[in-house]
Amino acid sequence: MDYEVSRKVWESQVPVQFTLQSGGTLGDPLPYYTMLPRFTYLALALPKALTSFNRREDGETIHVEKVWLEANGKPLKMYIPIGVINDQANLLETDSILEISVKTSTAPPKFQMVDRDMMEAMFMQNIKEADYLKTKAEVTQSMMKDELPQLWRSVVNNNFDEFWGINRKLMETNNEFSHVPLRIYYKDEPFKQALLTIKHTDGSLRTIGESIAEILRLSPPTSSESSTPTSESSSSSSDATPSGERRLISHGIDIPSHTPLIFAAKNLSYPDNFVHIVISV
Amino acid sequence: MSDYRKLIIERLEDVKTRNKQVASVYNNYSKLAEALIKKQKYGAPRSGVSLEENEELVKTKAEMADLYRSKCQNDQRLINANHAIIEYEKKTNALIAEKSKLEAVKHNLAGKYARTEVELQRLKSDNELMNDERIATNATVTMMTQQIQEMENDRIHFLNKIRELNATRIDMMNAEVALEEQRRHSRVQDMITSAINDVSDKDLKLEAMLKKMPETNANGDLLLGDSLPSRSEFNFECDEGEVNDVLWLDGETFATGGSDRKIKIWKTDGHGGQTRIDVLAGSNAAFTRIDYERDRKHLIASSNDKNVRLWNLDTSRLMSTLSGHADQVTCVKFYQSHSAVSGSADRVIKIWDLQNQRCSRSLFPASKILDVATNMGGSPSLFATGHFDKKLRFYDGRSSDPVKTVEMGGRITSLDVTMSGCELLVSTRDDTITLMDLRSFQTVHCYSAENYRTSSDSSRVILSSGNEYVAAGSSNGCVFIWNRNTTKLEKRLSSSSENPIFSLSWNPTGYGLLSSSKQKVVTLWK
């Protein structure tokens, strides 16, 4: 573990503005402004915003199960860390505020409200999936019963030391990672995930740029047809060309494409042990 | 190799720097929001400083007034509370005292309870003991009830047996009476027969006797019966010393016994003389009493050698010697059919079975026996004994205790029974002679005289053959004769000597009286 990188990654924050759009007769209350850690989830932040909105005495009480969230005109996926949501929303600008609209109208079909308990279950499932990719789930299976819930509690309570007291087992295994848990967010499609080893067949370390090129090459046929010539031309070009043409955004920064995949897996992953990378074309 | 790391760190720092301004704005915004919320929650805004101060001052004064009022109330409450505390302390002390009292009472009750428990335990054990005793008593009662039942059965059985024995006794008494009557009848027949046989020989003697007899009645007829003696026919010395007893055996034969330890048989010849015809020997000491049974011709005599002897006069042979007494035998009499009664100085009365020659019973009157009398008319088994202790005792031969005891005036020296067996003549050493009715044990007559003195403890008194006269010898050698019925002294016979007279015997024919003396002299009075 690289303490400096991990610490800075943990302490990264996102400025968020919650704006209630209920269309009440007395007008909407003022927006709720707060700084949220990148690794947290909307399921944890939304109750605080609603508490602020319900503090007005002249409005109706708004219940969490009757609202849905929207950003940039699209319903939000509440199970994705806020940092990733912010990276997707600010592809063109690097320092803008994440604006989330809290709506009380009927939710669109694609929106799925995720409450705290559901989020906890999904979080622990992600950790197990990541560990399966790395060690065939040996570490999570040998963990004590209370350690996974403790990881979740440290995320909720923003406790770095407590989190890494247990997460160290997941990152510093006896053997090398079999595969690297990596998720690619490309355009408006669901994230992409593939089996990626740490090293090439010749023993050299695989880089993030190579991994992403490989994942994009394995895209579905429809999108691959449209993107194949570009990827192939890009990969066949010199090293300077790909970094200039494609930005690999994670934790709000551009990750150098020559970063080893193993380094990213150990130091740039989110608390659910996945490396979430948003690609800006 | 590490250029990507530097690059990442740099870029993270850049993002942090750019967010710094926004973060500060956001934090301040949050603080302001919180402050606003607090203000809305806790108080109204103030308008002016001076106005506020004045209001505060007024408020403070009002608060002070309230505080003073509260203080007064609190002081009053404190005083009341103190009073209440004092009162409660008093109550508490009273309760404590009462508690102590109740504790003492409780202690007493506990002690009493303990004592009651002990007593209850004791009573319980006593009750168990009484129950056991009751059970035992019930068992005893049951057993004794059974015993009573058995004894009742035994009693009924014995009553039946007594009734049977009484019937048997009555039968035996009737038989005895019949036998006695038959015996007397035989004796009378024998006498008549012998008189008829001897009438020719005795005609002359009878005439001589009639000439000598002075008495006739008014008509001049000869009076047969007891002849009152008036003179001495003859006297003779027959022993070496005292002649203790003399007895007519029949009309002309008599026996004497005394200190010469011999029984001599004499025969009178009608001419004023006597002849010794036999001598019975065997004793080692003086003879005391002689008795004779005419039917069997048995003569029995008691002796000072502690024995009683029986002779057969037909054969002049000693038949048996009856020993058992521990001291001198003072008297002996034939008793019932085959028995004899003897009295001794050892204070024992013995009844002898003459057939088996043994003592069949011993009686213990605790006093020396001086004379014995049998052939009581009321009961064949009844006999009387005269004692040194002045008591006359009547015995039934079947029991050990006297059936009657009569106190006399002096030692009883001699007894004689009338022919009818209904009266008893008793001589005592107070110089009186008493005739007693045997049916009522009352005195019928009493005989005494001016110069009459009982000669010894064994001096003899007799009735005449016809029971018309009572004769006794005196210590001065005289013979006194009283009329039995009138108690009048009929005759006083004096002898030449002054020796005491020990024994008398009246002839069965009524004519002739023998007296024996202390000095070897026997006298025949006619």
- Of B461, B493, B499, B519, the closest CA to residue B233 belongs to B493
Instruction: Give pLDDT tens digits for A206-258.
Output: 788 878 887 776 655 444 434 434 333 334 333 333 444 567 888 888 788 87
Same structural domain for residues A10 and A66?
yes
* A62 domain-assigned: yes
Count of C-beta atoms within a 10 Å radius of residue A83: 24
* A177 domain-assigned: no
B59, pLDDT greater than 60: yes
Residue A228 has a pLDDT of 39
Residue A240 has a pLDDT of 36
Supply B293's token pair. Answer: 């049974």
Cβ-in-10-Å burial (0-12, 13-18, 19+) of B57 comes to exposed
Same structural domain for residues A96 and A120?
no
Residue B213 has a pLDDT of 55
What burial letters (b/e) apply to A258-278, b meaning 16+ CB within 10 Å? Answer: bbbbbbbbbbbbbbbbbbbbb
Instruction: Give pLDDT tens digits for B262-310.
Output: 888 888 876 677 787 888 888 888 988 888 886 777 889 999 888 898 8
For Cα atoms A32, A34, A38, give the angle at the middle one, nearest 5 degrees.
Answer: 135
Tell me which residue has tokens 């037909």. B314
> Mean of the pLDDT values across residues B198-220?
57
Q: What distance in Å separates residue B52's CA from the closest CA in chain A?
A: 29
User: Which chain A residues touch B37 with a CB distance below 8 Å?
Assistant: 55
Helix (H) or strand (E) holding B449: none
Instruction: Give pLDDT tens digits for B63-94.
Output: 889 887 798 988 888 898 988 999 888 889 89
Q: What distance in Å separates residue B44's CA from the closest CA in chain A?
A: 17
Which amino acid would we find at residue B166? N
Architecture of domain B231-525: 7 Propeller (2.130)
Q: Measured between alpha carbons, how far is B60 from B41 in angstroms, rounded to an integer?
A: 24
Interface of chain B against chain A, CB under 8 Å?
A: 3-5, 7-9, 11-16, 18-19, 22-23, 26-27, 29-30, 33, 37
Looking at residue A99, which CATH number applies to its domain? Answer: 3.10.20.620
Percent of chain A with pLDDT strictly greater than 70: 80
B498, pLDDT greater than 50: yes
- What confidence category does residue A1 fall into, taking pLDDT thresholds of 50, 70 and 90? low
> Mean of the pLDDT values across residues A24-47?
81
By the 8 A CB rule, do B265 and B276 touch? yes
Instruction: Decide which of A98 and A173 is more confident.
Output: A98
B258, pLDDT greater than 80: yes
* A65 domain-assigned: yes
Q: Measured between alpha carbons, how far is A168 from A6 in angstroms, rounded to an integer?
A: 12
B221, pLDDT greater than 90: no
Determine which of A3, A36, A95 to mutate to test the interface with B (most B C-beta atoms within 10 Å). A95
Same structural domain for residues A140 and A228?
no
Instruction: Give pLDDT tens digits for B102-153.
Output: 989 988 889 988 989 898 888 889 888 888 888 999 899 998 898 898 888 8
By the 8 A CB rule, do B467 and B225 touch? no
Supply A46's token pair. Answer: 């939304």
Interface of chain A against chain B, CB under 8 Å?
A: 2, 4-5, 8-9, 11-15, 33-35, 52, 55, 94-95, 97, 251-256, 258-260, 263, 268
Supply B266's token pair. Answer: 């004499």
Same structural domain for residues A73 and A159?
no
Same structural domain for residues A23 and A50?
yes
Distances in whole angstroms, Cα of residue A8 to Cα of each of A2, B11, B16, B282, B479: 10, 11, 9, 177, 189
CB contact (8 A) between residue A95 and residue B9:
no
* A276 domain-assigned: yes
Q: For A172, what's the count of Cα atoms within 13 Å in the CB-facing half-sphere?
A: 8
> Mean of the pLDDT values across residues A168-175?
74
By the 8 A CB rule, do A272 and A123 touch? yes
- Could you list the beta-strand ranges (E) of B364-520: 369-373, 382-387, 391-396, 404-407, 412-417, 423-428, 432-437, 442-447, 461-463, 469-473, 479-483, 489-493, 501-506, 513-517
Q: What distance in Å separates residue A142's CA from the closest CA in chain B?
A: 32
Residue B340 has a pLDDT of 92
* A108 domain-assigned: no
Q: For B316, what's the count of Cα atoms within 13 Å in the CB-facing half-sphere?
A: 10
Q: For residue B299, give every residue at least 6 positions away whose Cβ sits within 8 Å of its Cβ, in sequence order, or none.
A: B249, B255, B263, B280, B290, B291, B292, B293, B310, B311, B313
A91, pLDDT greater than 70: no
Residue A227 has a pLDDT of 41
* A267 domain-assigned: yes
CB contact (8 A) between residue A33 and residue B29:
yes
Show the domain range for A126. 116-171
Q: Mean pLDDT over all residues of chain A?
A: 76
Supply B329's token pair. Answer: 């035998």
Which amino acid would we find at residue A208? I
* A176 domain-assigned: no
Q: For B450, what's the count of Cα atoms within 13 Å in the CB-facing half-sphere?
A: 2
Q: For residue A233, give every residue at least 6 positions away whose Cβ sits within 8 Å of its Cβ, in sequence order, or none.
A: none
Same structural domain for residues A59 and A80?
yes
Residue B65 has a pLDDT of 93
Q: B359 in helix, strand or coil?
A: strand
Q: Measured between alpha carbons, how far is B402 from B385 in angstroms, rounded to an integer?
A: 10
Q: Measured between alpha carbons, how far is B231 from B159 in angstroms, rounded to an integer?
A: 62
- Of B284, B286, B235, the closest CA to residue B260 belongs to B286
By the 8 A CB rule, do B437 and B396 touch? no
Q: B368 in helix, strand or coil?
A: coil
Instruction: Give pLDDT tens digits for B353-405.
Output: 888 887 887 888 888 888 889 877 777 788 898 988 888 888 877 677 888 88
By the 8 A CB rule, do B405 and B387 touch? no
User: Which chain B residues touch A260 with a CB distance below 8 Å?
Assistant: 4
Looking at residue A159, which CATH number applies to its domain? Answer: 1.10.246.190
Q: Measured between alpha carbons, how far is A123 from A114 in angstroms, rounded to an integer?
A: 12
- Of B265, B264, B309, the closest CA to residue B283 belongs to B309
Supply B275's token pair. Answer: 């002849």
Which amino acid would we find at residue A29? P
- Of A125-129, A267-271, B193-197, B281-285, the range with the lowest mean pLDDT is B193-197
* A190 domain-assigned: yes
B175, pLDDT greater than 90: yes
| A vs B: CB pairs below 8 A | 66
CB contact (8 A) between residue B4 and residue A256:
yes
Q: B9: nearest CA in chain A?
A: A5
What is the number of structural domains in chain A? Answer: 3
Q: Measured between alpha carbons, how far is B278 from B265 in angstroms, rounded to an integer?
A: 5
Residue B94 has a pLDDT of 95
Residue B447's Cα: distance from chain center in Å? Answer: 41
Instruction: Give pLDDT tens digits for B37-52.
Output: 777 766 655 556 677 7
Count of C-beta atoms within a 10 Å radius of residue A91: 15
Q: Give phi and psi for A203, each to the nearest 5.
A: 95, -10
Q: Measured between alpha carbons, how far is A128 from A133 in angstroms, rounded to an integer?
A: 9
> Mean of the pLDDT values across residues B473-490?
85
**Three-class HEC string of B254-285:** EEEEECCCCEEEEEECCCCCEEEEEEECCCCC
- What confidence category does residue B218 fall into, taking pLDDT thresholds of 50, 70 and 90? very low
Supply B142's token pair. Answer: 């049951």
Supply B368's token pair. Answer: 């020396």
Q: Measured between alpha carbons, how far is B462 from B415 in angstroms, rounded to an integer?
A: 8
Pairing of the two strands A253-254 and A247-250:
antiparallel
Distances in whole angstroms, Cα of residue B386 to Cα of each of A129, B133, B351, B460: 158, 58, 16, 12
Which amino acid would we find at residue B176? E
Residue B125 has a pLDDT of 92
- Kindly list the domain boundaries of chain B, sorted by start residue: 1-30+62-94, 231-525
By the 8 A CB rule, do A255 and A280 touch? no
Residues in chain A: 281
Torsion of CA B161, B165, B167, B173, to 10 degrees: -170
Instruction: Give pLDDT tens digits for B322-342.
Output: 889 898 898 998 887 778 989
Same structural domain for residues A208 and A125?
no
Instruction: Give pLDDT tens digits for A142-168.
Output: 887 778 888 888 888 888 888 888 887
Q: Measured between alpha carbons, how far is A272 from A274 in angstroms, rounded to an integer?
A: 6
Count of C-beta atoms within a 10 Å radius of residue B464: 22
Residue B217 has a pLDDT of 47
Residue A103 has a pLDDT of 80
Looking at residue A229, which CATH number applies to its domain? Answer: 3.10.20.90
